Each structure stands twice: as C-alpha cells, then as structure tokens.
Amino acid sequence: MTAAERWSTHAIEICGDLVTKRYMKGDAPALLDREWRALTLLDAHAPGLAPVPVAVDRDADPPMVAMSRVPGVPLRGSPVDGERMAAMAKTLDALYGAVPGDRLARVPVRPDHWAGLAVRLRDWHGRGPGKAAEGPVWAALDEGMAWLDRPGRAAGPDPGGPSVFGPGDGNLANYLWDETTARVGVVDFEDSGRSDRPFELAEITEHVSGWVDGGFDAAAFLDCFELTAAERARLRECRRLLALTWTFILSFDDPERPRNPPGTAARQAERLSALLG
C-alpha cells in the first residue's frame, strides 16, 4: 500500500517538543517497525536530519512511537525557492548515504519499490477504471500499462549506483524548512527502507504534492544532484512508473468526497502522457 493511499493510518499527538505517533490502520506492526528502524538508524549515523527516537510500544492499543519534534514548516503548499530547494537536496544527499553499506544490506527493500509496484499496478488495471477515470484518464492509464508491459520492465532498469536509505514518501509535507538554521528536516518513515537514488528522487518529483497546490520546480530540483548517465536513465523510467501510479491513485478519487481539486486526475494523466513521450 503506497503512502498516498494511507492518509489515515496514524494519529499524531504533539506535547511540547515530544511527538507521539499512533498507528491506527493498515499493517500497524510493519509501519511502526519501519518508522522505528529509520529513526534509530538516522539518529546513529546522521543525527539532526530526522526526529530523535524516544520510545516505542508495540503492545499498546494502538501501537505507538514517541519521538522529538522537528522544527520548521512543511514545504508543501508554497513555492519552494532556491534556498529551500538547495537545503532539501543537501538533506537528501546526507540521508541517502547515511547508513553504512554493511548495515544497509540488512535493511529490507522499501515497500512499493519497482517490482512490487509493477505487480500492484497490473492488479489495479485489471480491476477497471475508478470513479474519476474519465476517457482521457483511462486512455493515459492504458498507454502507461502498455509501456510497463514491454519486455524487461518487470524488475526495472539497473539502478545505476549503490543502494541508499530511502524515506519512501515524496510528500513535500514531510520536509520541514527551519528558517533559523536554514535546514530541512525529514519526518514520516513508515515506508522507508533500502532503495536507490533515482527511485527516491522520482518519488519526490512525481508526488502530487509537488504540483497540485504548490510551486515545486522538478527540473531545478533534479539539477541539484550529480547523477551518472545510468542514474539519469533509471530516473526517467522511475518517473514514468511513479506518474503511472499517481494516475491510478487519482483515478480512484470519489467525486462526491474529493481529496483533490476538480480535474486533478485529468491533469495527472497529461503529466503521465508527457513523461511517456
């Protein structure tokens, strides 16, 4: 289950500098374990990038994790200027390379990485269109599935570089700008795990939060990273995969109880078609 589908899996309580996160729905033990593993790993190898782990209670009802509060305001919902974008890129560079290779090798692959996501998309396509899937949206989904079903796409292209630790959620609301320190902190690690840099960057650039209600320049953001030719090739394919994912997710929106502005699914279909070329 992608982060975009799990908007109500947890409840947050804030008391001073302490944040308590209670896992209400979904596979709560797995969500909690990924969150706690990420917090402890980053606290050990890259302190200051993420909340400090304080306590975990797997037997509570619902299970919970307590952590420090990260200062700052979310990047979602407002234009991300050059200073904030550079700070975000600096944070991500540090986060991706934070966990030593021998330890990272023991971290499970993050949920909905390429192979698992491809299986999920084929299942969704087999169910038929969602309520928001008007003609152009379903046509774009068919176009995307035709691309995905080409030979060699089941596992995706070579990552083009070493494994990295990925936060697993591209929502700009999870990146907090602290004006006092001019740094960006990261929260929400329910879908974190071992990944690769192109996939994680695609997770951010294709997340609906980057364009539906803000001014996030994806091209300028990607220019902040020195990518190899192989990474750029994989990034292009990962962006297509994640754009296809978001087209499906938005097609399932209920027009009577919309989570996004009218026409968002159609706009996403246009983005997907443009990426597919």
For residue 31, count CB atoms less than 10 angstroms from its CB and return exposed for 0-12, middle for 13-18, buried for 19 or more: buried
List the chain domain ranges: 71-276
Query: What pLDDT, on the 0 to 100 scale, is given for residue 31?
Result: 95
The sheet carrying 175-178 orders its strands as: 73-74, 175-178, 183-186
How confident is the model at residue 5, as a pLDDT?
42
Mean pLDDT per 10-residue interval, the chain, length 277 residues: 49 94 89 97 97 96 96 92 97 97 97 94 88 84 95 85 96 96 97 97 96 88 96 97 96 82 91 96
Distance CA 168, CA 152 (A): 24
- Which residues are CB-contacts of 175 (< 8 A; sequence separation ≥ 6)? 74, 75, 76, 88, 91, 184, 185, 186
- CA 130 vs. chain centroid, Å, equals 22
pLDDT for 176 equals: 97
pLDDT for position 78: 82
Classify strands 193-196 and 163-166 as parallel, antiparallel or unpaired: antiparallel
The C-alpha torsion from 204 through 40 and 97 to 104, rounded to 10°, is -100
Predicted pLDDT of residue 76: 94
Q: Which CATH superfamily hosts domain 71-276?
A: Aminoglycoside phosphotransferase (APH), C-terminal lobe (3.90.1200.10)
- Going from the C-alpha of 37 to that of each of 15, 65, 167, 194, the distances in angstroms are 23, 11, 11, 12
Distance CA 111, CA 116 (A): 7
Burial of 234 (0-12, 13-18, 19+ CB in 10 A): buried
